Amino acid sequence: MNETGSCGANKVIDLRSDTVTRPTPAMRAAMAAAEVGDDVMGDDPTVRLLEETTAALLGKEAALFMPSGTMSNQVALRAHTEPGDEILIEAGAHMYYYEAGAPAALAGVMCRLLNGHRGIFTGADITAALRPADVHFSPTRLVCVENTHNRGGGSVWPVAALSEVANTARQHGLKLHLDGARLWNASASSGLPEHLYASFFDSVSVCFSKGLGAPVGSALVGSRAFIARARRFRKQYGGGLRQAGVLAAAALHALQHHRDRLVEDHANARLLATELADLPGVELQVNEVETNILWFRTPTRPAAELVARLKAAGVLVLALGPDSIRVLTHLDVSREDVATAARLFRQVLTSS
Ligand code: TLP
């Protein structure tokens, strides 16, 4: 078994998520060499360098290193609101759908859901959800956006759509948070810089542990005042880390060496989508595969059964609904792996 989980001819191709990547030897070397200190006391030089680098990349005043994307989003939510406030969020957004009820449990906010198309909604959706200031209603404070959108199939928000949503939110005095766990993929796909996307938002959460391939870590960025408030909630949520420089070093390595290659993951996802779209019983829109995520429907066969058969054949994917399957490409999946996976998908989907 080598570092990427490969066992020679019997390598398992893990397409469950881009979170499954293992640190490369060069990343491990950077981690081993990291200068560290106690970060709760503000003494870790590598964490500080990562925070400064991330803030600069996203065009914001300050950044805060976080143990996970979930904590980064939920600390942002807590820092923007008070218990009893309402937020506007798309129905499939990770912060609402996949974060274990944290908006209710931790920030104590009400989620008012917007129905987007592939995760993308409009200013009119915001306006329609707003209610007058009245003692009966929870005050609406925040609009949340996800880019790329996970359950939307890795969709990239067009800048015009972001601008329209942000203008509408501002007109109504609302703050804006971006879950940019895969913002790097949005930029790699569109060619537009991350700071352009970030410019519409008061806060942005980015992850180093997804497409970028670091083992752990996210960052929340925003104004100096916002990040100072977020630092208090990070401590309250148990996210104050001590010698976190070893993790920050992996994230810095990932930022320097793994951003430019994301286009390879996107090309691999598109290639796999093209192969899958041809198979019997598969419903998949190839032209909707914009980044490293692809979803497809299998209306004639239960997804769980196909996932089990694919696993037996050596390909891991996730069933995310009774007849829908999600596939992700990433750093540990080569073009050759994609060709092998396509062959195994064909074998499983054409057998009875
Ligand atoms: N997403 C994971 C699962 O939790 C579903 C995955 O495999 O895709 N925002 C977005 C858009 C995400 O996709 C994720 C993780 C997170 C936040 C949370 O990040 P972590 O796992 O670091 O808490």
Instruction: Report which of 261, 294, 252, 291 is spatially closest to residue 147, judged by C-alpha positions.
Output: 291
| CATH number of the domain within which 230 lies | 3.40.640.10
Are the beta carbons of 146 and 182 closer than 8 angstroms?
no
- Closest Cα to atom 8 of ligand 1: 17
CATH (domain of 330): 3.90.1150.10
The answer to whether residue 131 sits within a structural domain is: yes
Q: How far apart are the first and last CA of the chain?
A: 33
Q: How far is the C-alpha of 242 from the C-alpha of 245, rounded, in Å?
A: 8
Ligand 1 mutation target, pool 94, 209, 295, 325, most atoms within 8 A of CB = 94
Verify that 175 and 276 share a domain, yes or no: no
- Listed residues 241, 257, 273: the one ending a domain: 257
Domain boundary among 207, 235, 257: 257
Distance 70 CA to ligand 1 centre (A): 7
Q: Is there a domain that residue 313 lies in? A: yes
Could you please report the per-residue DSSP string of 108-142? -PEEEEE--BTTB--HHHHHHH---S-TTSPPEEE
CA of 148 to the centre of ligand 1 (A): 11
Shortest CA distance to 351 belongs to which of 320, 299, 309?
Answer: 309
Q: Are residues 112 and 231 in the same domain?
A: yes
Ligand 1, atom 13, lies closest to the CA of 150
Residue 98, ligand 1, Cβ within 6 A: yes
Is the domain of 115 the same as that of 227?
A: yes
Residue 17 CB less than 6 A away from ligand 1: yes
Task: Choose one of 77, 98, 325 to mutate for the ligand 1 pocket test, by most ligand atoms within 8 angstroms of C-beta.
Answer: 98
- Do 103 and 44 lie in one domain? The reply is yes
Are both 185 and 201 inside the same structural domain?
yes
The C-alpha atoms of residue 251 and residue 23 are separated, in whole angstroms, by 10
Q: What is the pLDDT of residues 204-223, one digit of tens each?
A: 999 999 999 999 999 999 99
Q: In one letter, which amino acid is 297?
A: R
Q: Would you say residue 1 lies in a domain? A: no
CA–CA dist 254, 208 (Å, integer): 7
One domain, residues 177 and 268: no
* Contact of 338 with 271, CB cutoff 8 Å: yes
pLDDT score at 230: 98
**Which residues 6+ apart lie within 8 Å of 79 measured at CB?**
203, 226, 229, 230, 233
The domain tally of the chain equals 2
Q: What is the pLDDT of residue 9?
A: 55
Tokens 């929870």 locate to 138
pLDDT < 50 positions in the chain:
1-8
Whose Cα sits closest to atom 20 in ligand 1?
Answer: 69
**Is the CB–ligand 1 distance for residue 18 below 6 Å?**
no
- Tell how far the Cα of 135 is from the centroid of ligand 1, in angstroms: 36
2 belongs to a structural domain: no
CA atoms within 13 A on the CB side of 122: 4
Pull the structure tokens for residue 105: 């449990």
Q: What does 46-86 look like in DSSP terms, one character per residue?
A: HHHHHHHHHHHHHT-SEEEEES-HHHHHHHHHHHH--TT-E
Same domain for 180 and 319, yes or no, is: no
Instruction: Name 171's Cβ contacts closer than 8 Å, sequence gap at least 6.
Output: none
165, 296: one domain: no
| Whether 111 contacts 103, CB under 8 Å | yes
Is residue 28 included in any domain, yes or no?
no
Residues 197 and 278 in one domain: no
d(CA 276, CA 349) in angstroms, rounded, equals 9
**Domain end (from 232, 257, 282):** 257
61 and 182 co-located in one domain:
yes
> Quick one: 39 and 63 in the same domain?
yes
Return d(Cα 206, Cα 184) in angstroms, integer.
Answer: 8
Q: Verify whether ligand 1 is closer than 6 Å to residue 179 (CB atom).
A: yes
Cα 10 to ligand 1 centre (Å): 28
Domain-located, residue 290: yes
Residue-wise pLDDT for 118-164, tens only, equals 999 999 999 999 999 899 999 999 999 999 999 999 999 999 999 99
65 and 43 both lie in a single domain: yes
pLDDT the model gives residue 3: 42
Cα(219) to ligand 1 centroid in Å equals: 13
Residue 29 in any domain: the answer is no
Q: What is the pLDDT of residues 164-193, one digit of tens each?
A: 999 999 999 999 999 999 999 999 999 999
Sheet holding 203-207, edge to edge: 62-66, 218-222, 203-207, 175-180, 140-146, 86-90, 110-114
* Residue 42 lies inside a defined structural domain of this protein: yes
pLDDT value for 5: 42
Which domain does 137 fall in, by range? 34-257
Place of tokens 């274990």: 100
